[in-house]
């Protein structure tokens, strides 16, 4: 059963009814204002949909009739909520545009196909009519939405896969499943769990993203050290393109066509179905916390454990700034917590301390062995074992944090997220470079003298070669010109990352927000190869214009 979109926010994260417990706590806002160097944080609510005027829908009645003949009249919708919900993804820039009431990117209609054949027919029609098509999974993409410039196309369609959400087959012997691409995370995992399996792909956006979106963006779940990223568990895929169906098959030799689809961000076609590798539901699953004296030690423990024979299933290292920021929301620590903090400081876990979460999962014997070996390694590096408490807290809040970005935006606080990856030898230099670059960019863009941007860093998605770093940059919004402000901060952070040897992205992708750096990342020849593939599969250039390829 597809998710009921009418219960979701069209201009923010998740369920409209969700209430963030810090929203009404003025003591939290006073403290945050002081941290950001602001006298106060005032309410900055988004504009409501009923106040806004959407651009006139351009789909001609002849095109409408032809589309309706393919998918059925009920499957072609153009209400205001439908169009607004499909107007953007969920990057910070997307949210700023939506909240300000800029709906210029709204599609002219939303089409809900129910089979690969229908998708193929829609794309063939769109190609002949020069209508832009934007595949839509859950809409949680974090790198900017397609830009079907209104003058360049006859019309723009969002192609929403949410009604293609069937688990077609689970093969328990091969441990694989054949699944339609529009299935959302919870529906997929529930179906697999009922048969004793898991995909193990739990991105932070799990509740509101889809299998097709994970493949299109080459995503990585929180337990990627154990389950891998999309390219690891994807076995084969059906891609409906404007020129026909590409089925990648299972041939292990030769160039892997599935790797061209994985990470193609909807610019080549629409992923309609995939065969995915399954793992058994774990009997044992625990997440433990370790306090490390500093970032260097935390990263060293991550590296050595991933390069050992018995790596953990999950590793997440929050740096001291991230720890301090999160504690700031917990305004009333208990006496016991205060005592604990004092004791830790006394034992040398001071201002630079970082929190490392390590997860162990699988059959009991192997997972317990991994946990023991990890504890010995962490202890040898002076980390303090905190037990399962921090892991339980993480499990409770792991999918709730994205709501907080909206709460902060409601009080004039911006939250830009920049992520990267690097090999172990380069990783440690990156956070300092990003902090310095953001501090200089912030000076020029913050709303008043004395205001500050905070840079919180988290390392995760580790493997033998390296790990990802995610920077959450928190700053007072400049209400006049907040788009330019965000672009400046993002450009500064991205420039610093690339100069320090990091990649343009680890799992969010390129989208529109990273387009300017794409040639630097792939080189001209790389871009030409990608462009040639695009030209073959989408000669009219109707798929997701303005994304991935300049
Ligand atoms: C708060 C937050 C947390 C996030 N956490 C993570 C994380 O932990 N790990 C991670 O990997 N990502 C994360 N993301 C990014 C995002 O959730 C992923 O990129 C996700 O895979 C997108 O899936 P979706 O179904 O929402 O795709 P959408 O947002 O609908 O689409 C994303 C892109 O893929 C294309 N697309 C979607 N479906 C298809 C399809 N069937 N065929 C072809 N193209 C398609 C779209 O056209 C678009 O270009 C996060 C994003 C946010 C906002």
> From atom 21 of ligand 1, which residue's Cα is the shortest distance away?
214
Cα–Cα distance measured from residue 131 to residue 37, given in angstroms and rounded to the nearest whole number: 48
pLDDT at 479 (0 to 100): 85
Q: Is 412 in the pocket of ligand 1 (CB under 6 A)?
A: no
pTM to 2 decimals?
Answer: 0.97
pLDDT tens figures, 343-370:
677 777 888 899 999 999 999 999 999 9
Closest to 171 (Cα-Cα) out of 251, 273, 276, 282: 276
Cα–Cα distance measured from residue 143 to residue 156, given in angstroms and rounded to the nearest whole number: 19
pLDDT at 70 (0 to 100): 98
User: What's the gap in Å between 334 CA and the centre of ligand 1?
Assistant: 39
Please identify, by atom number, the ligand 1 atom nearest to the C-alpha of residue 181: 41
pLDDT at 505 (0 to 100): 97
pLDDT at 444 (0 to 100): 87
> From atom 44 of ligand 1, which residue's Cα is the shortest distance away?
266
> From atom 27 of ligand 1, which residue's Cα is the shortest distance away?
213
pLDDT at 442 (0 to 100): 85
Please identify, by atom number, the ligand 1 atom nearest to the C-alpha of residue 202: 8
Q: Is 228 in the pocket of ligand 1 (CB under 6 A)?
A: no
Q: How far, rounded to the nearest angstrom, does the alpha carbon of residue 84 sit from its chain's CA centroid?
A: 20
The list of the chain residues with pLDDT below 50 reads none
Judge contact between 458 and 470, C-beta under 8 A.
yes
How many other CB atoms are found less than 10 A from the CB of residue 346?
A: 9
Q: Is 41 in the pocket of ligand 1 (CB under 6 A)?
A: no
pLDDT tens figures, 423-447:
999 999 999 999 999 999 988 899 9
Backbone angles phi, psi at 420, to 5 degrees: -155, 175
Q: Is 289 in the pocket of ligand 1 (CB under 6 A)?
A: no
pLDDT at 510 (0 to 100): 96
User: What's the gap in Å between 203 CA and the centre of ligand 1?
Assistant: 10
Judge contact between 160 and 213, C-beta under 8 A.
no
pLDDT at 252 (0 to 100): 87
User: What's the gap in Å between 432 CA and the centre of ligand 1?
Assistant: 29
Sheet containing 270-277: order of strands: 167-171, 176-180, 270-277, 234-241, 244-247
pLDDT at 156 (0 to 100): 96
Q: Is 271 in the pocket of ligand 1 (CB under 6 A)?
A: yes
pLDDT at 186 (0 to 100): 97
> From atom 8 of ligand 1, which residue's Cα is the shortest distance away?
203
Q: Is 206 in the pocket of ligand 1 (CB under 6 A)?
A: no
pLDDT at 338 (0 to 100): 61
Q: Which of 209, 263, 273 to mutate to test the pocket of ligand 1 (most atoms within 8 A of CB)?
A: 209
β-bridge mates for residue 72, sequence order: none
pLDDT tens figures, 10-52:
999 999 999 998 888 999 999 999 999 999 998 999 999 999 9
């Amino acid at each position: 059963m597809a998710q009921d979109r009418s219960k979701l926010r069209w201009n923010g994260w998740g369920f409209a009814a969700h209430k963030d417990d810090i929203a009404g706590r003025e003591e939290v806002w006073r403290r945050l204002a002081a941290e950001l160097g602001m006298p106060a944080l005032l309410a900055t609510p988004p504009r409501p949909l009923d106040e806004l005027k959407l651009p006139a829908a351009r789909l001609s009645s002849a095109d409408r009739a032809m589309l309706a003949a393919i998918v059925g009249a009920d499957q072609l919708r153009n209400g205001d909520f439908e169009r607004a919900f499909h107007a953007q993804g969920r990057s910070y820039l997307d949210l700023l545009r939506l909240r300000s009431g800029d709906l210029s990117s709204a599609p002219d209609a939303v089409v809900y196909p129910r089979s690969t054949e229908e998708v193929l027919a829609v794309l063939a029609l769109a190609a002949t009519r020069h209508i832009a098509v934007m595949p839509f999974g859950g809409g949680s993409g974090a790198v900017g939405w397609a830009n079907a410039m209104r003058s360049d196309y006859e019309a723009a369609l969002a192609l929403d896969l949410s009604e293609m959400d069937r688990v077609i087959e689970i093969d328990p012997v091969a441990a694989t499943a054949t699944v339609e691409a529009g299935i959302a995370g919870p529906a997929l995992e529930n179906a697999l769990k009922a048969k004793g399996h898991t995909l193990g792909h739990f991105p932070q956006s799990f509740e509101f993203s889809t299998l097709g979106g994970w493949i299109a963006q080459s995503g990585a779940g929180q337990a990627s050290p154990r389950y891998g990223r999309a390219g690891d568990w994807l076995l084969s895929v059906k891609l409906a393109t404007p020129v026909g169906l590409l089925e990648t098959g299972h041939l292990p030799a030769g160039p892997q066509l599935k790797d061209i689809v994985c990470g193609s961000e909807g610019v080549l076609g629409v992923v309609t179905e995939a065969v995915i590798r399954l793992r058994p539901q774990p009997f044992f699953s625990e997440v433990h916390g370790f306090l490390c004296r500093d970032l260097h030690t935390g990263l060293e423990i991550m590296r050595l454990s991933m390069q050992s024979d018995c790596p953990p299933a999950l590793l997440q290292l929050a740096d001291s700034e991230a720890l301090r920021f999160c504690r700031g929301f917990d305004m009333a620590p208990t006496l016991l917590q205060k005592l604990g903090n004092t004791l830790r400081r006394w034992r040398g876990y001071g201002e630079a301390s970082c929190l490392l979460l390590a997860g162990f999962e699988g059959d009991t014997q192997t997972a317990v062995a991994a946990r023991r070996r990890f504890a010995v390694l962490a202890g040898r590096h002076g980390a303090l074992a905190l037990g399962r408490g921090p892991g339980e807290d993480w499990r409770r809040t792991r999918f709730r944090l994205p709501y907080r970005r909206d709460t902060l935006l409601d009080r004039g606080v911006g939250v830009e997220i920049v992520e990267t990856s690097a090999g172990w030898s380069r990783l440690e230099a990156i956070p300092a470079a990003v902090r310095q670059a953001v501090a200089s960019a912030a000076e020029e863009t913050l709303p008043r003298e004395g205001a500050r941007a905070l840079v919180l860093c988290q390392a995760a998605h580790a493997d033998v070669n390296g790990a990802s770093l995610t920077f959450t940059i928190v700053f007072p919004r400049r209400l006049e010109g907040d788009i330019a402000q965000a672009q400046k901060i993002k450009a500064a952070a991205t420039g610093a990352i690339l100069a320090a040897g990091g990649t343009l992205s680890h799992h969010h992708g390129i989208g529109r927000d990273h387009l300017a750096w794409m040639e630097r990342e792939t080189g001209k020849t790389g871009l030409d190869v990608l462009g040639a593939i695009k030209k073959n599969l989408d000669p009219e250039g109707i798929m997701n214009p303005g994304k991935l390829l300049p």
